[in-house]
Amino acid sequence: MADDALAARLLSIFVEELGEQVQELNVHLLALERASADTESLNGVFRVMHTLKGAARAAGVRQIESLCHLLETDLARARDDAAPLGGAAIALLFEA
C-alpha cells in the first residue's frame, strides 16, 4: 500500500512540475523561433527535456520519459554540432 501511495504522490508531483516545465520550454522555443542559433535557448530546451525525462522516470510515465530521451538526444546533437534547429524541428517541439 505504501508503494501505491508513493507512486501516486510522485505522479502528482510530476503533473505539477510538467506545467511549469512546459511554460519554461515555450519561452525557450519562442526565443529559438526568433534566433535559431541562440545557444542559451537551445541549452534551456535541453535542460527542460532532461528535467522532464528524470521526473517522468521517477513517476513511472515511460512514454514521456522515452520521448524526452529521444528529443534530448537530438537536442544534444544540435548543440554539440552547433547546428541551429530549423523551423520544422521547433514546431515539432511545440507540439511535443
Task: Single out the residue of 29, 33, 35, 42 nearest to residue 72, CA to CA.
Answer: 42
Q: What is the CATH number of the domain that holds 18?
A: 1.20.120.160
C-alpha cell at 90: 521547433
Task: Give tens-digit pLDDT for 57-72.
Answer: 999 999 999 999 999 9
Task: Give tens-digit pLDDT for 20-59.
Answer: 999 999 999 999 999 888 899 999 999 999 999 999 999 9
- Can you give the pTM of this predicted structure? 0.85
Our count of domains for the chain comes to 1
Query: What is the rounded average pLDDT of the residues 9-17?
Result: 93
Residue 26: what pLDDT?
A: 95
Ramachandran quadrant class, 82 (left: phi over 0; alpha: psi -120 to 50; beta: rest): left
Residue 2: what pLDDT?
A: 74
As a whole number of angstroms, the distance between CA 82 and CA 39 comes to 8
Containing domain of residue 32, as a range? 2-95
